[in-house]
Structure 1
C-alpha cells in the first residue's frame, strides 16, 4: 500500500467520517468532500471505499500493536506490571487513535473477505500479546479464571471505554488502567 503522508491524512479523515456516519452511510462523495478533494481524485489514492476502510483499520491496528509492544518492552517481567502496561497501552491507543480504533471495533464486519484475511494477522498478533500476558498472570496466580473468558472480559471492558470515558474527567488513563487491573487481581492470602 501507498504510505504517502497525503494518504495517511486521507485515512485519518475517513476514520473520522466513518465514526460520525457509519461505513454504510458514508458515500464516496462525502469522503471526497471531507478530504477536500474531488471524488475522482480519491481514486488516485484508493481503489474504492472498501480499500479506505481496510486502510483505516490497518493503520489503527498497527498503531495499537506498536504501542502495546513498546509498553511491554519498557516494563519489567512482573505479571501484574505487564497486565497494567497492556491496559495502559490499550487506553493510550483509544486516546491517540480513537477514530481508527472505533472503526476497527464497529466496522470490522463490513470488510470484504479479502481485506479481513489480509488484516486478521494484525488483530491476531494483538490478541496474542494479551493472551501471553494473561497466561503469565494466570501462571503466577496474579489473576484467576479461564484465559479465554479473562481476555474477552478485559478487551471488552477496555474497548467499551470509547463509549463513556472522558480523558478530561476525574480519572486519568493511568488511574483507569490501574483500577481495571485491580478488579482482576486474585485476593492475596
Structure 2
C-alpha cells in the first residue's frame, strides 16, 4: 500500500477484502459483495481503489510488509547463533501467519490472480522476505545444524509453516494440545536441525 493511500479507512477496507477473498475466493467475490461488507455503495469503493485487482494487490502488499517487518524485528532481537535465528524466523512467520491469517491465505491462494503490474509491484517484497529465509537457512547449513540442499530446505520449511493455516487454530488450544505458535516454531526447528 502506498503511503498516500494508507488511510485508516483504506486499511480497514483491505482487511474486509482479505476476509472475503478467503471466504469466497477472489474470482467469486464481486464488487457489490465487497461494497456491502464494507458498508459503502459500490461506486464509493472506487474512491479508495481503482478496481478489484488493486484491492487484491493491497491485501497481499500490506500482509507482506507486516511479515517483513516482524521478521526483521525478530532477527534483530535474536541471539546471533544460527539455531536461534532459525527459531526466530519460524516464530515470526507463524506469528504473522496466524495473527494476520486472511492476508496470508489470500496471498498463498490468490497470487496467481494478480495481473502483471501487481506482480511486478509485489515480487520485490516477496523476494526481500525470502532472502531473509535464505540467509538464515544458509547460516544453519554452514554451521552444520541443517543438512540438505538450501533451496529445497527453504521450500519445505516455508511449505510446512504455510500449511499451518489449514490445520492450526490458535483459539482452539484444547484441540491442539495447548500448543502456541512458539511451541510450533520450537517443534519445527527441532525436526529440521541436528544437535
TM over 0.5: yes
CA–CA separation in structure 1 for the residues paired with 2:16 and 2:170: 21
Q: How many residues align?
A: 187
* 1:29 matched to 2:29: no
Match of 1:3 in 2: 6
User: Counterparts of 1:47-58 in structure 2 under 5 Å?
Assistant: 47-58=50-61
TM-score by length of 2: 0.95
Q: Deviations over 1:3-47 (max 9, x none)?
A: 110000000000000000000000000000000000000000000
Q: CA deviation at 1:166?
A: 1.7
Q: Say whether 1:136 aligns with 2:139.
A: yes
| Corresponding residue for residue 175 of structure 1 | 183
Task: Report what 1:88 is aligned to.
Answer: 91
Deviation at 1:173, TM superposition (A): 0.6
Aligned match of 2:74:
71
- Segments of 5+ residues of structure 2 without an aligned counterpart are none
Measure the CA separation in 2 of the matches of 1:26 and 1:173: 31
Counterpart Cα distance in 2 of 1:14 and 1:132: 33
Question: Which residue is 1:40 aligned to?
Answer: 43
The CA deviation at 1:161 is: 0.2
**Offset of residue 51 of structure 1:** 0.2
